[in-house]
Chains A and B, each alone.
Chain A
Amino acid sequence: MAATASLKSSLLLPSPISDFNGAAVSISTQKRRRSWQPRGARMQVLAAADSKNILVMGGTRFIGVFLSRLLVKEGHQVTLFTRGKAPITQQLPGESDAEYTEFSSKILHLKGDRQDFDFVKTSLAAKGFDVVYDINGREAVEVEPILDALPNLEQYIYCSSAGVYLKSDLLPHCETDAVDPKSRHKGKLKTESLLTSRDVNWTSIRPVYIYGPLNYNPVEEWFFHRLKAGRPIPIPGAGNQITQLGHVKDLAAAFIKVLGHPKASQQIFNISGAKYVTFDGLARACAKAGGFPEPELIHYNPKDFDFGKKKAFPFRDQHFFASVEKATRELGWTPEFDLVEGLTDSYNLDFGRGTFRKEADFTTDDMILGKKLAAV
């Protein structure tokens, strides 16, 4: 184990990437625009020995886009393993040409399909990596060839999910809580079990709902579409269900924090926002972030409708939130963005510039509104 290297890594702090914050905030609350810089961050130049040869599984879509930038800035050699369907790099809104050129000149690409286990094993063994960040792994079988190929791996850092927790009347979810072997995310659970059973230094991160610019899951985007269209926001049930959003940049910072951190060895960490939010409160927060007026909220009983395959609301209809206290205590990591700040960052750098991943689809909204009008 490269103990000295890991100690040095644990002293490194993510470099400020203030360029990513784009235009000045244009919201009514006079929030100080925050540059994405952890408290007391220092840029520390890595000695050659501290620079790691890092493989990122994925890295071109959302989390990895921000994580890989931090890693490259830290001086590591970073390779992205993707099929190459999406561009390996994209210039981020607010990112200067110079920064983008610097990043894209340094990032490496290993083209392949991670479902091709033989290819994974041989190509990874041939290259040899110190650390693997597995951002897009879903099933344990996908991880086996990676572990087989890299017997001297220093750390396997896995992006799991708080979706593995068993639903409970007692909240927040903590890392020691019961997990649900039948959950939609059981592949993540099996991967965590695999990592535990193998002789590898692993760390597992369990985010809740991730948000931020480039989000491909229509979380904030779902609200922004409706707010922009001046439509009421249909919310299932009473709207007092509590959920939790974590900014992708805070998540990326957490991924950096665990790199070589002695307290991260064989540990699981919930990573998300410091506070939770009700469904109703989230609609209001999105409105504030985008400079929209206070939205009209319409509550409905989902059981009164058959939405078919369409999702009428982007969150699970239940309380779902996790405590990030372990990460704060053990790693000294804290989220930098509070909810409105983070949503504003997302709005200013993404939706507010006219970009989004999914076109607006108000089919289910109209079903709900139609029934409400008929009932009057």
Chain B
Amino acid sequence: MATTAASTAAAFACASRLSTSPAVPRPSVWSSSSSLRAFPRGVAARRRAAMAARSAVLTVRAEATTKKSVLIVNTNAGGHAVIGFYFAKELLAAGHAVTVLTVGDEASDKMKKPPFSRFSELTSAGGKTVWGDPADVGAAVGGASFDVVLDNNGKDLDAVKPVADWAKATGVGQFLFISSAGIYRPTDEPPHVEGDAVKESAGHVGVEKYIAEQFGSWAAFRPQYMIGSGNNKDCEEWFFDRIVRKRPVPIPGNGMQLTNIAHVRDLATMLALAVESPGAAAGRIFNCVSDRAVTLDGMARLCAAAAGADIVIVHYEPAAIGVEAKKAFPFRNMHFYAEPRAAKEVLGWTSTTNLPEDLKERYAEYASSGRGDKAMTFDLDDKILVALEKAPASVTV
């Protein structure tokens, strides 16, 4: 469409301000994909108007939707793996038909870890789980076609292009992509909001631009960190490991760096709303995060509170000690804070993450897992602590 170029440009334009206009009720004609095909010029006109006004505030009525067939192409490891799991559950609960295509082999050792080890929860709810190569989705799904595809796997165009091209060729109505809030350029003025400048060289940016060109109905979701049962990557566990062993918790810098840690259920509900309101979601970028930031020190404190334990936090300067913060600490050593403004305005989404409460549930699972009793080494921690003893931090910064 002629306007996709405009929408691409507008979606990636640097905007230092998020502006909105008063909410207007949305006509329900936009909500189903068949309506979109019937009113392509109407859709284009709406997008033009929205872009001209920078953004339109739309209230969405999550109506009784037609059931959709959704394909989730899911990564087989890492922090984002759990997103597909929760999203699948959310869709299945709403009565949609779900297939999860996990990259690689079903027999792989990676499948012994959560969330993959819990895929029976998907199949017992009516979901299909298949394995294969995203370079040949058609083969992996046995020639099936879908209304919606979510790529929760690729970090660059090499990985996603085959999926996108297959989706387009088979007439997929809506293409969704799990991108990353890590692509935002660092700023003096947090939070990162949709429309802010991104690192143009980032792989995810290339993907976002490509799907914007290829699909009328596309949306990109930029997450940060997640907690939630079934997570493939440690998050809160890093703190619990130290807290239960009564070890000091080394945090780089002054611990005031803000980050965003969401319960993965929030990401799932946001994605589900996009599926159920494709017109509202079309052409949009969504920060897929909770609506509260937490400081690094704060996260440590909340974990300790959840464990009902004391905590000693020590701060250190990675460069001064000769450790890489990336290896020593699981969160970015800087403000890394996006807000989910678009999802709230455009999808009517609300955040339910409540870290103090959610971490209690996380701790209960941690405690019952026996992980707290396992022998663990803390080489980098020890290196940091030794260095701090030798040269006690002369305060700051």
Contact = CB atoms under 8 A, between A and B. Distances in A.
Chains A and B come from one and the same complex: yes
Interface of A: 39-40, 169-172, 237-242, 274-278, 280-282, 284-285, 299-301, 303-304, 319, 323, 325, 328-329, 332, 334-335, 338-340
Interface string B281-295: 000000000011111
Given A242-B258, A274-B19, 15 more contacts: A169-B294, A169-B295, A170-B294, A171-B292, A240-B335, A241-B256, A274-B17, A275-B189, A275-B190, A278-B189, A329-B57, A329-B344, A332-B20, A334-B19, A334-B20
Residue in A169, A240, A242, A304 whose Cβ sees the most chain B Cβ within 10 Å: A169
A275 B301 contact: no
Contacts of B188: 277-278, 280-282, 284-285
B256 A240 contact: yes
Contacts of B22: 332
Contacts of B292: 170-172
A276 to B, nearest CB: 5
Residue of B19, B57, B297 with most partner-chain A CB within 10 A: B19
A343 B272 CA distance: 41
A240 B296 CA distance: 13
A169 B302 contact: yes
Contacts of B302: 169
Contacts of A241: 256
B256 A39 contact: no
Contacts of A319: 256, 258, 295
B288 to A, nearest CB: 17
A274 B294 contact: no
Given A40-B21, A169-B295, A328-B20, A240 B254 contact: yes
A237 B189 contact: no
B187 to A, nearest CB: 8
Interface string B383-394: 000000000000
A270 to B, nearest CB: 14
B189 A277 contact: yes
B362 interface: no
Nearest to B295: A169
B190 A242 contact: yes
Nearest to B300: A169
B16 interface: yes
Interface string B39-70: 00000000000000100010000000000000
A334 B53 CA distance: 13
B95 interface: no
B295 A301 contact: no
A169 B299 CA distance: 8
Contact of B253 (A238, A274, A276): A238
Nearest to B298: A169
Nearest to B290: A170
B13 interface: no
Contacts of B298: 169-170
A368 B178 CA distance: 48
A170 B341 contact: no
Most chain A C-beta atoms within 10 Å of own C-beta, residue among B17, B57, B187, B298: B17
Contacts of B299: 169
Interface in B177-195: 187-191, 193
A280 B16 CA distance: 18
B251 interface: no
A278 B21 contact: no
B396 interface: yes
Contacts of B23: 329, 332
A177 to B, nearest CB: 10
30 contacts: A39-B21, A39-B53, A169-B294, A169-B298, A169-B299, A169-B301, A171-B294, A237-B254, A240-B257, A240-B335, A242-B258, A275-B17, A275-B189, A277-B188, A277-B189, A278-B188, A282-B188, A299-B397, A301-B397, A303-B395, A319-B258, A325-B341, A325-B344, A329-B23, A329-B344, A329-B345, A332-B21, A332-B22, A338-B16, A339-B189
A284 B19 CA distance: 24
B263 to A, nearest CB: 13
Nearest to A282: B188
Contacts of A274: 17-19, 193
A39 B22 CA distance: 10
B98 interface: no
Interface string B335-369: 10000010011000000000100000000000000
Contacts of A300: 396
A171 B298 CA distance: 10
A171 B20 contact: no
